[in-house]
């Protein structure tokens, strides 16, 4: 007879006056159900699915020791996957009672016996390092590319177990720390240096037959711009800098550069971060300035008139500072280029050319140099004040003499060879390579027993919060609250989360969590075939990503329901993306919120081109990739990996191209494939009206698309609207799946069965609050796995 732990405890106080005589006994019902419907297959002898329930006997502790098995039983049973449809089924009421009982038993056991696990010491990943440098030193420079890409685990690159450390990586940290400290103090070399930015181009051609760069490239360029590009540049000193551009030479954008392809001017720049841009001024409508080159190019005469001059704007921080008159074609070209618009291929910034002006009054220098010694005798005290303030923020805790003394030793050694500011610069470099900065280190209270559970300190909780929501250091407000021990007070964590989500740094949750949860980071690696998708270009790719980022950020900032991710009646578009969607009335490069008409077949994540593109191949859609994406990311029900030696899909049969549906019907004749495809394929088929770059279509390989589908339980639906209704009917499952993914990211570790009660508690609270996303975020921040720590056993 199976023992059912807490169910017995729940009913141990029963009596004639407390429960109706006819009330069913959940313990007996559960025992009967497992014996009758599960033990015949899942026993020590048969172990179908490598799973046996024979060991699930004993006292309450079995709920803890066998949490993995019980959670599997709960999940498979609640989803209707067990018992299999081909086997005898229990009475629906008895099954519902069993599910409710087991869920309650597991959750009650977890509340009484919390097991938060314990992540290993975690290194900052390269994004967190760059953000921490930015916030510590007020240095608006992205250093992520200075460090190697981090490994990922459980779908994220902040997972402690995969963030290894090697001698090579430490060498990179040392090199980057030196570059950062010199740049922040303004003590980098005063010799001229060149920074180059290659403007993204892909050579695609719009339906007009004209290159795709006849429009303003970005909001960072002046109004009325055409083509060009802009990038963030950090001026090391006040001074004169040369901004130069390499222009395209001919019609096919070749880069056989000659001296006449380069133009430039010198402009003054203040030390600090600037947005540098080069773009042509749109003077006339494109139809008035662009002609179609005739096919018989051999008959095009050589130009005899003076070349027409085009205005090229040099902009700094969005404002035009200089204008260069550029010939519309290169004089050495054989044929006139006035038929094609010129564009910028690369931007170079060189300088400073008059470094005598000094480092300037940058935000970084203001942050670092809290004091200015009036004489040599005051330098050490001032340096100690600077070092102590920076170390406290960098190490995310109060610092003592043991922290400051090694840094002051570095300062003194450099000061002896140079001057005060170079000494401070050397100490900053020491801070940036310290383990206290590079690693998130937590400790157990003195005397804590092995295996005991305790609340993390306020300072540790502050770091957990800041790296969860900002991928960066705690700010002064959060750090001061932690130092005062205020985070343990009622409502304080919730108040801090509310404040932090309203801060621009919360954009890290979009970039780093959503960027990986939704595979947005893969969009840059996606290479759609422009012969199949001639409308696709770099600007469309950027617009795709921006739509999803703004959509996710809007849901978070406005505390919207997570069900908006399934079906929303709004999105964010600019003209380029709106045209791709066939939506009129949107003009310009700026994104704005757009109310969606159901006839446009959009809404939610699954109607966004970014998701549809990363789940496709370069030249065609993928029913399987899209179905798998939905199972993994929206239902937390990833299928098992495919068996080895699975044949590729057959694309043609009998001399005829096959539709995606026909290809998969042939593929599913393999029994090894059918069990997984029966779950994935219906979800993917419903999105077949979207092509490989997310445009809506009615036909594929010349045949009408059939977007209808049937789920394994026989439910029929069609198209994106039908899929949205299927997912909305499983909204609690989606909410729990989203909570799982966000909790994994927040904890920087994979989840175990011991975390699932917390997932259910958080997602259940959200369901009771109209599925609001901030209820999930705050629930995670106050959950046992996030706020507790387990002392490791001996």
Collapsing DSSP states into helix, strand and coil, what is residue 769?
A: coil
> Within a 10 A sphere around the Cβ of 744, how many other Cβ atoms?
22
For strands 703-704 and 453-455, give the pairing: unpaired
Position 300 scores a pLDDT of 41
* Predicted confidence (pLDDT) at residue 631 exceeds the cutoff of 80: yes
Phi-psi region of 292 (alpha: psi -120 to 50; beta: other; left: phi over 0): beta
What is the tens place of the pLDDT at every residue in 139-188?
Answer: 999 999 999 999 999 999 999 999 999 999 999 999 999 999 999 999 87
- Residue pair 271/233 in contact by the 8 Å Cβ criterion: no
* Predicted confidence (pLDDT) at residue 238 exceeds the cutoff of 80: yes
Pair of tokens at residue 31 = 């025992």
- Residue pair 738/562 in contact by the 8 Å Cβ criterion: yes
Alpha-carbon distances, residue 16 vs 7, 20, 21, 30 (angstroms): 18, 7, 7, 22
C-alpha to C-alpha distance for 377 and 373, rounded to whole angstroms: 8
C-alpha to C-alpha distance for 53 and 34, rounded to whole angstroms: 8
C-alpha to C-alpha distance for 483 and 469, rounded to whole angstroms: 20
Pair of tokens at residue 55 = 């060991």
- Residue pair 163/196 in contact by the 8 Å Cβ criterion: no
- Residue pair 206/534 in contact by the 8 Å Cβ criterion: yes
> Within a 10 A sphere around the Cβ of 435, how many other Cβ atoms?
11
Q: Helices 92-112 and 756-767 meet at what angle, rounded to 10?
A: 110
- The kind and range of the H/E element at 721 are helix 719-729
| DSSP annotation of 79 | T
State the residue for tokens 């009982």.
101
Average of per-residue pLDDT across 337-348: 74
Q: Return contacts of 378-387, CB within 8 angstroms, 24+ apart.
A: 379/415, 379/420, 379/423, 380/408, 380/412, 382/420, 383/408, 383/411, 383/415, 383/420, 383/423, 383/424, 383/427, 384/408, 386/424, 386/427, 387/411, 387/424, 387/427, 387/431
Q: How confident is the model at residue 573 (pLDDT cuts 50, 70, 90)?
A: very high
- Residue pair 581/601 in contact by the 8 Å Cβ criterion: no
**Pick from 357-371, 498-512, 609-623, 769-783: least confident:** 357-371
C-alpha to C-alpha distance for 780 and 787, rounded to whole angstroms: 9
Position 509 scores a pLDDT of 98
383 alpha-carbon distance from chain centroid: 39
When the pLDDT of each residue in the chain is averaged and rounded to a whole number, the result is: 85
Position 261 scores a pLDDT of 86
C-alpha to C-alpha distance for 80 and 679, rounded to whole angstroms: 13
Query: 607: closest CA among 510, 694, 706, 528?
Result: 694
* Predicted confidence (pLDDT) at residue 18 exceeds the cutoff of 60: no
What is the tens place of the pLDDT at every residue in 715-762?
Answer: 999 999 999 999 999 999 999 999 999 999 999 999 999 999 999 999
C-alpha to C-alpha distance for 505 and 234, rounded to whole angstroms: 20
Position 290 scores a pLDDT of 39
What is the tens place of the pLDDT at every residue in 273-306?
Answer: 999 999 998 765 444 443 333 333 334 444 445 5
In percent, how much of the chain has pLDDT > 90? Answer: 62
Average of per-residue pLDDT across 698-720: 91
- Residue pair 704/737 in contact by the 8 Å Cβ criterion: no
Pair of tokens at residue 435 = 């383990």
Collapsing DSSP states into helix, strand and coil, what is residue 128?
A: helix
What is the tens place of the pLDDT at every residue in 530-566?
Answer: 899 998 998 999 999 999 999 999 999 999 999 999 9
C-alpha to C-alpha distance for 135 and 394, rounded to whole angstroms: 9
State the residue for tokens 């051609």.
205
Position 319 scores a pLDDT of 95
What is the tens place of the pLDDT at every residue in 21-32?
Answer: 455 555 566 666
Q: How confident is the model at residue 204 (pLDDT cuts 50, 70, 90)?
A: low
**Pick from 231-245, 264-278, 646-660, 695-709: least confident:** 646-660
Position 33 scores a pLDDT of 72
Average of per-residue pLDDT across 423-440: 97
C-alpha to C-alpha distance for 292 and 395, rounded to whole angstroms: 62
Read off the pTM.
0.89
What is the tens place of the pLDDT at every residue in 107-142?
Answer: 998 999 898 977 668 999 999 999 999 999 999 999
- Residue pair 265/242 in contact by the 8 Å Cβ criterion: yes
Position 297 scores a pLDDT of 37
In percent, how much of the chain has pLDDT > 70? Answer: 80
Query: Who wins on pLDDT, 190 or 37?
Result: 37
Position 720 scores a pLDDT of 97
Q: Where are the alpha helices (DSSP H) in 144-201?
A: 167-185
Task: Please report the sign of the dihedral spanned by the C-alpha atoms of residue 413, residue 414, residue 419, residue 423.
Answer: negative
Q: Which residues pair with residue 240 across a beta bridge?
A: 268
* Predicted confidence (pLDDT) at residue 360 exceeds the cutoff of 80: no
C-alpha to C-alpha distance for 140 and 699, rounded to whole angstroms: 48
C-alpha to C-alpha distance for 201 and 530, rounded to whole angstroms: 13
- Residue pair 467/756 in contact by the 8 Å Cβ criterion: no
Q: How confident is the model at residue 650 (pLDDT cuts 50, 70, 90)?
A: low
Position 260 scores a pLDDT of 79
Position 414 scores a pLDDT of 97
- Residue pair 165/120 in contact by the 8 Å Cβ criterion: no
Position 561 scores a pLDDT of 98
What is the tens place of the pLDDT at every residue in 80-98?
Answer: 777 777 777 888 887 888 8
């Amino acid at each position: 007879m199976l023992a059912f732990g807490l169910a017995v405890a729940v009913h141990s106080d029963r009596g004639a006056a407390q429960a109706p005589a006819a009330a069913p006994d959940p313990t007996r019902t559960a025992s009967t159900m497992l014996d009758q419907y599960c033990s015949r297959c899942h026993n020590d002898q048969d172990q179908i699915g490598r799973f046996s329930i024979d060991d699930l006997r004993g006292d309450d502790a079995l709920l803890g020791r066998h949490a993995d098995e019980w959670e599997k039983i709960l999940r498979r049973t609640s989803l209707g996957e067990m018992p299999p449809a081909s086997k005898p089924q229990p009475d629906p009421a008895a099954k519902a009672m069993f599910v409710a009982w087991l869920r309650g038993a597991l959750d009650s056991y977890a509340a009484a016996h919390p097991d938060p696990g314990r992540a290993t010491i975690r290194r900052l990943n390269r994004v967190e390092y760059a953000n921490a440098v930015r916030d510590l030193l007020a240095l608006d420079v992205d250093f992520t590319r200075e460090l190697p890409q981090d490994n990922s685990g459980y779908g994220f690159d902040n997972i402690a177990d995969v963030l290894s450390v090697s001698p090579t990586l430490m060498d990179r940290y040392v090199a980057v720390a030196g570059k950062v400290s010199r740049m922040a103090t303004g003590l980098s070399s005063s010799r001229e240096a060149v920074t180059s930015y290659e403007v993204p181009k892909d050579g695609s051609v719009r339906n007009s037959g004209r290159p795709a760069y006849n429009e303003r490239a970005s909001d960072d360029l002046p109004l009325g711009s055409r083509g060009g590009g802009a990038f963030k540049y950090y001026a090391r000193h006040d001074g004169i800098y040369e901004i130069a551009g390499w222009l395209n030479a001919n019609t096919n954008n070749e880069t056989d550069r000659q001296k006449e392809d380069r133009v430039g001017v010198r402009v003054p720049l203040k030390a600090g971060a600037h947005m540098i841009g080069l773009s042509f001024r749109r003077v006339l409508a494109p139809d008035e300035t662009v002609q179609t080159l005739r096919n018989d190019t051999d008959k095009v005469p050589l130009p005899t008139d003076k070349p027409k001059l085009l205005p090229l704007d040099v902009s700094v921080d969005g404002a035009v500072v200089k204008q260069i008159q550029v010939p519309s074609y290169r004089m050495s070209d054989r044929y006139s280029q006035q038929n094609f618009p010129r564009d910028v291929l690369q931007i170079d910034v060189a300088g400073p050319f008059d470094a005598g002006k000094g480092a300037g009054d940058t935000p970084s220098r203001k942050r670092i140099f809290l004091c200015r010694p009036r004489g040599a005798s005051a330098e050490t005290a001032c340096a100690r004040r600077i070092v102590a303030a920076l170390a406290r923020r960098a190490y995310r805790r109060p610092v003592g003499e043991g922290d400051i003394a090694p840094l002051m030793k570095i300062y003194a050694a450099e000061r002896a060879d140079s001057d005060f500011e170079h000494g401070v610069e050397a100490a900053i470099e020491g801070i940036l390579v310290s383990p206290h900065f590079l690693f998130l280190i937590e400790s157990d209270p003195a005397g804590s027993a092995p295996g005991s559970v305790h609340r993390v300190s306020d300072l540790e909780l502050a770091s957990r919060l800041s790296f969860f929501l900002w991928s960066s250091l705690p700010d002064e407000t959060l750090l001061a609250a932690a130092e005062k021990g205020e985070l343990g007070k009622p409502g304080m964590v919730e108040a801090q989360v509310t404040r932090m989500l309203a801060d621009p740094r919360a954009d890290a949750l979009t970039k780093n969590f959503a960027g990986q949860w939704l595979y947005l980071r893969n969009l840059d690696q996606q290479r759609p075939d422009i012969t199949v998708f001639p409308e696709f270009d770099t600007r469309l790719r950027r617009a795709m990503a921006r739509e999803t980022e703004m959509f996710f950020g809007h849901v978070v900032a406005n505390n919207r329901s997570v069900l908006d991710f399934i079906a929303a009646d709004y999105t964010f578009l600019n003209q380029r993306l709106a045209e791709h969607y066939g939506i009129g009335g949107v003009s310009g490069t700026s994104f704005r919120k757009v109310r969606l008409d159901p006839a446009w077949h959009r809404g939610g994540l699954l109607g966004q081109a970014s998701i549809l593109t990363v789940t496709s191949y370069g030249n065609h859609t993928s029913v399987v990739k899209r179905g798998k994406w939905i199972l993994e990311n929206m239902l937390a029900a990833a299928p098992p990996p495919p068996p080895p030696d699975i044949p590729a899909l057959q694309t043609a049969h009998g001399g005829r191209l096959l539709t995606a549906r026909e290809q998969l019907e042939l593929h599913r004749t393999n029994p090894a494939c059918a069990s997984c495809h029966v779950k994935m394929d219906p979800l993917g088929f419903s999105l077949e009206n979207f092509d490989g770059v997310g445009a809506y279509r009615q036909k594929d390989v010349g045949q009408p698309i059939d977007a209808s589908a049937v789920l394994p339980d026989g439910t029929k639906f069609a198209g994106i609207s039908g899929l949205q209704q299927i997912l909305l009917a499983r909204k609690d499952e989606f909410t729990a799946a989203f909570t799982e993914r966000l909790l994994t990211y927040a904890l920087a570790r994979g989840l175990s069965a011991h975390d699932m009660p917390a997932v259910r508690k958080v997602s259940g609270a959200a369901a009771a609050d109209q599925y609001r996303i901030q209820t999930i975020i705050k629930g995670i921040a106050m959950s046992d796995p996030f706020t507790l720590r387990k002392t490791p056993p001996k």
